[in-house]
Amino acid sequence: MRFRHDNKEEQSGNRPVISPATDAWQPLSDGLAWLRGVCVRREIPTIREDTEMVMRRILEEAQPARILEVGTAIGYSACMMATVLPEAAVTTIEIYDRSFYDAKEAIERLGLTGRIEQHLGDAAEVLPALAEAGRRFDFAFIDAAKSHYRTYFEAALSMMESGGLILCDNLMLGADLTAPGSGDKRHRTSAKRMERFLEDLRQDSRVATDFYECGDGLSVSRIL
Ligand SMILES: C[S@@+](CC[C@H](N)C(=O)[O-])C[C@H]1O[C@@H](n2cnc3c(N)ncnc32)[C@H](O)[C@@H]1O
């Protein structure tokens, strides 16, 4: 599946879509292999393997010290990022309390307590609170409610400097498209909002954005 605007981007030669090679994925640790297995068994959405490959490469190149994640689920991507960068601090937000506590257990089991700061609550409220507290980040990974990406993106941007990176996952709404009721009004609203968010991102002169076809669609925006 391709992004709807691929051709336009390729014709303009502007911020081209990149199709990364999906090398054979290997878990970074036994703990992460276990945690991905839990996600699969319990059908908990997590970053896909090829998306993880791309994220690992970007993290290794950028070496951010302060990472913000919106959408913890049970902690797979947070633990993956903390494992790739042993010096980095990860701050992650989850609205669903069961996931929050499952993530807490997983983080402990992987020996990453102290490296990952968890927040339980609606990111639309937690993000402004972090900004108010003067928190700053070098890297943000947005992976929560798909119809609110604009809000999360703006909040993350407000806490970052030039050179910082903001990644957004599930731009193709794959998880939602296969979910029961995917043709319903809520899904259509979500799809429209995502489409508008992508349009805005392409025009946004504050960032330079690449769109990756890996997994369910990933954008990588570098703050100018
Ligand atoms: C796709 S999952 C995150 C997967 C995780 N990043 C990973 O790759 O392992 C999205 C998560 O966002 C959470 N979420 C949804 N809306 C949210 C909100 N408004 N604030 C915070 N978290 C939210 C969901 O409960 C879900 O656990």
Cβ neighbors of 13 (< 8 A, separation 6 or more) are none
Protein residue with its CA nearest to atom 8 in ligand 1: 46
Q: Give the distance (Å) from ligand 1 centre to CA of residue 13.
A: 34
Identify which of 208, 202, 172 has the alpha carbon closest to the alpha carbon of residue 2: 172
pLDDT at 14: 40
- Residues 78, 80, 83, 89, Cα dihedral to 10°: -20
Range scoring the smallest mean pLDDT among 19-23, 41-45, 55-59, 194-198: 19-23
Does the structure show a pLDDT above 60 at 165? yes
Measured between alpha carbons, how far is 103 from 85 in angstroms, rounded to an integer?
Answer: 19
Q: Domain 49-223 belongs to what topology?
A: Rossmann fold (3.40.50)
pLDDT tens digits along 120-132: 999 999 999 999 9
Q: Give the distance (Å) from ligand 1 centre to CA of residue 167.
A: 14
pTM of the model: 0.90
For ligand 1, which residues put their CB under 6 angstroms from it? 45-47, 71, 73, 76-77, 93-96, 99, 122-124, 143-145
Arithmetic mean of pLDDT, 60-89: 98
Range scoring the smallest mean pLDDT among 26-40, 121-135, 171-185: 171-185
Per the document, the length of the chain is 224
Measured between alpha carbons, how far is 173 from 27 in angstroms, rounded to an integer?
Answer: 25
What confidence tier does 179 reach under pLDDT thresholds 50, 70, 90? Answer: low
